[in-house]
Amino acid sequence: MAIAVLGYGKIGRAIVKDLENSMPSEEIAVFDPYAKETGKGNLRVKRVDPLSPDTFRHIAESDLVMAALPAEQRPALIGLTLRYGARVVDVTFGNDDPFSQQATGNRKSLYIPDCGLAPGLSNMAAGYFHSVMDETEDLKIYVGGIPERPVPPLDYVITFASQSVIDEYVNSVTWVSGGQVRVDPALSGTEEFHLSGFPFALEAFLTDGLRTLLRNVRVKNTMFEKTIRYMGHSDKVMLLRDLGFFSSDAVDVAGYRVRPRDLTAALFDSKLRAQGVRDMIILRVTATGTSGGRRVHRGMEMIHVHRKDDGLTSMSVTTAAPACAVAELLLGEDLDLHGVVCPEELAMKAGVFGKVAGALRRRGIELSFSES
């Protein structure tokens, strides 16, 4: 089988490494105009724009396409996917509506958006829990990538794009409270987050990560995503935000027009990418509701630290792994899926989430489940 990977940045590389380990006999073709490698063995690297229509028409002939492109390229990717009938699993985190172009799609096309860690694995857990309850009352997602120990000055190191980190601090948050959709500022709703046996205090605050869950899952009371950081982090970044360091409005600096957030992003890249400190990923999804006439509480938790010295981070590995687990499923089973299918919708199908959890376990990523 032939698998195309679009984008060869941190996540794209993690996807390729995963595919090479989990599907060693498959042909993998990477498309990235800025790639430096040429590939070897079953891996080919092509320095071309994957979103050129002529190029994508050939990419669409692959058995499966894995996408890890910049967020601003997602609308073009969706349009090409639906136009040429490709089968795409996408980890890109975008603000656009993945359903906006579905009406124009080729009936053979399949596009699975937001299929990384969160959104992605978080959505699958949420969709699965929702599907096995008669009524879901509360659905809560806590997720964060933090250094194994606090690293001054923000007790944080960056493991993905600095502009995306800033987005978490400035984008308004859409969530559900009292059964009603509401919008609040990022960094609000801060609470203590308790992790058994962990020696440092943690906090969690609202961020805009529910995405398609707002469309596909209905809850009676509460549904939110909160980002986990070391205690006190939110106060520090709120100070930066309130002082205007994250503003997109250009200011005059010695005769030059400068956007404060661009300067801040550059400083974050310079100061917050600590070497020699491993990142750890925490994901906890809980659901409360009724099933068979009784009140139930279900939970899933993942704590993962990538300890191999292969240039990959825990964030890149745990973002790539859910997408690759879904890829395994799509290539190995005859699932009747077409159009735009969200991770939570996929996990609502009988047996699917258990198979994804098993695929993650084979990759050394353990999910623990609880029910009461």
Joined tokens for residue 64: 């499966």
> For residue 207, what are the contacts with CB-CB under 8 A and spacing of at least 6?
168, 171, 173, 186, 225, 226, 227
Task: Give the distance, in angstroms, between the CA of residue 164 and the centroid of all CA atoms in the same chain.
Answer: 12
88 contacts 319 by C-beta, under 8 angstroms: no
> For residue 275, what are the contacts with CB-CB under 8 A and spacing of at least 6?
none
What does the mean pLDDT of the chain come to?
94
Query: pLDDT value at position 103?
Result: 58
Query: pLDDT value at position 105?
Result: 61
CA distance 356 to 326: 7
Query: pLDDT value at position 142?
Result: 99
For residue range 150-175, list pLDDT tens digits in order.
Answer: 999 999 999 888 998 999 999 999 99
Query: pLDDT value at position 311?
Result: 87
In terms of Cα–Cα distance, which of 73, 70, 32 is closest to 49? 32
* Phi–psi pair at 303, nearest 5 degrees: -125, 120
User: Given a cut of 90, is residue 23 above it in pLDDT?
Assistant: yes
Average pLDDT over residues 95-122: 86
Query: pLDDT value at position 98?
Result: 85
In one-letter notation, the amino acid at residue 236 is K
CA distance 56 to 86: 9
Q: How large a percentage of the chain has pLDDT more than 90?
A: 88
- The DSSP code sequence of 211-278 is TTHHHH---SSEEEEEEEEETTHHHHHHHHHHTTTT--S-EEETTEEE-HHHHHHHHHHHHS--TT--
For residue range 312-342, list pLDDT tens digits in order.
Answer: 999 999 999 999 999 999 999 878 899 999 9
